[in-house]
Amino acid sequence: MTRRNFHSDNEAGVAPEILAALARANDGTARSYGDDAITKRLRARFCEIFETELELFPVVTGTAANALAVAQLTPPYGAVYCHAEAHLNTDECGAPELYSGGAKLIGLEGAHAKIDPAVLQHTLRHAGYLDDHECKACTLSVSQATEHGAAYSAAELAQLTRIARGYGLRVHMDGARFANALVHLGATPAELTWKSGIDLLSFGATKNGAMMAEALLVFDSALAVELGRRRKRAGHLLSKMRFVSAQLEAYLDGGLWLRLARHANAAAQAIAAGFEGVAGAELLHPVQGNEAFLRLSPAVAEGLKAAGFGFNRWPRTDDVYRFVAAFDTPSSAVEDLVQAARRLAG
């Protein structure tokens, strides 16, 4: 049977180039805890790609990268503004709260899980009125691509970060699917991050073909002070770090990350296009990454499940479903899905 798995890009495997890099990295001994040659090379490579000096902290989960970023930018008595649907807010079981020592996440609204600038402006204008009774507004976190599969343009990011910085906030980007947004927008990594006012980036790789590798990038070294100790006490200072860095190096090498993301995005576009003719199916968000969100009739949703297709109902909804394409989703899988849906919608 052909592949029918659209549950999540994290159910895919590992790109062969990345697996090969692990074998190559297994050459003799190396200093542990990131003091190895591969990690050093990797930092230089990230500097090139992002066209700036930066501090690099490889980790193995996006939750760790996000929570470290939040803790680094937000004291325990601080507040973090993010979209109400942000992964940070809904899917990490309180990791930002744990790492920060109890900072408060405040969810904001906006279409397609993009924070509405007017909402942010209004919220921050009223923040601080209660002095010590209120958590201090410290951090803005945006997801790129968003949890609804949309992408912020550089201009949209700049607008949000300008508001946030006007109130003294620092800005984090959850880039679990950064590559997908990047290739969709056709912008440079620099344009979508520090040039748009982003201070820290959770740079995702696992969902796009790595095995277990993410990187927390810090564009202002003053914001990296003691981040190493925070990482250690969170249990994320890996002893054989070279094997995380090797994944990231291969991921970046020769633009592999961009190729993989383009493939996944194209598959998501094909899904969206394919469902256009399906009765009762409604595309809810623009497809600007590798995910398509569809409202489906029970007949179609249940029929697809029965036919063995894997996809998840979106939390807090009754009839919205997410289809995620991966770096290696075959076009035949998309075709099968679409044909099955059309048959069911009959």
Of residues 7 through 66, those in contact with a copy of itself by CB under 8 A are: 7-8, 10-14, 19, 22-23, 25-33, 59-61, 63-65
By C-beta, is 191 or 336 nearer to a copy of itself?
336
Give the nearer residue to a copy of itself in terms of CB position, either 22 or 49.
Answer: 22
Eight-class DSSP state of 323: E
- Cis before 154 (ω within 30): no
Residues 63-122 that bind a copy of itself (CB under 8 A): 63-65, 67, 75-77, 90-95, 97-105
| Count of residues that bind a copy of itself according to CB under 8 A | 79
Q: Report the b/e string of 110-119 with b at 16+ CB within 10 A.
A: bebbbbebee
Interface with a copy of itself in residues 195-214 (CB under 8 A): 206-207, 211-212
The length of the chain in residues reads 346
Quick one: CA dihedral 304, 306, 310, 316, positive or negative? positive
CB of 159 to a copy of itself, least distance (A): 22
Q: Least distance (Å) from a copy of itself to the CB of residue 240? A: 6
Q: What is the CA radius of gyration of the chain?
A: 20
Pick from 43, 136, 148, 263 the residue near a copy of itself by CB under 8 A. 136
* Binding map of a copy of itself across residues 161-200, x = CB under 8 A, - = no contact: ----------------------------------------
Interface of this chain with a copy of itself, residues 298 to 317, rule: CB under 8 A: 313, 315-316
User: Rounded to the nearest whole angstrom, what is the least distance from the CB of residue 323 to a copy of itself in the complex?
Assistant: 14
Among 155, 186, 222, 235, binds a copy of itself (CB under 8 A): 235
Q: Does 233 bind a copy of itself (CB under 8 A)?
A: yes
Nearer to a copy of itself, 33 or 167 (CB): 33
The single residue among 117, 228, 280, 286 that binds a copy of itself, judged by CB under 8 A, is 228
Helices 242-252, 16-25: crossing angle, 10 deg rounding:
140
263 binds a copy of itself (CB under 8 A): no
DSSP assignment of 226-295 equals THHHHHHHTT---TTTHHHHHHHHHHHGGGHHHHHHHHHHHHHHHHHHHHTTSTT-EE-S---SSEEEEE
CB 289, CB 145: distance < 8 Å: yes
Kindly identify the residues of this chain, within the stretch 324-343, that bind a copy of itself according to CB under 8 A: 326
Q: Which two tokens stand for residue 275?
A: 């469902």
Residue 144 contacts a copy of itself per CB under 8 A: no
DSSP per-residue letters across 73-125 = H--TTEEEEEETT-HHHHTSTTHHHHHHTS-EEEEE--GGGPPPHHHHHHHHH
Q: Smallest distance, Å, CB 168 to a copy of itself?
A: 13
Candidates 51, 134, 220, 282; binder of a copy of itself (CB under 8 A) is 134
In the complex with a copy of itself, the residue whose CB is nearer, 313 or 342, is 313
Return the number of the residue (162 or 232) whose C-beta is nearest a copy of itself.
232
Neighbours of 316 (CB within 10 A): 9
Contact 92, 67 (CB under 8 A): yes
- Position 298, amino acid: P
Q: Does 2 bind a copy of itself (CB under 8 A)?
A: no
Question: What does the alpha-carbon distance between residue 112 and residue 237 come to, in Å, rounded to a whole number?
Answer: 35
Smallest distance, a copy of itself to C-beta of residue 126, A:
5
Binding of a copy of itself by 126 (CB under 8 A): yes
Among 41, 162, 232, 343, binds a copy of itself (CB under 8 A): 232
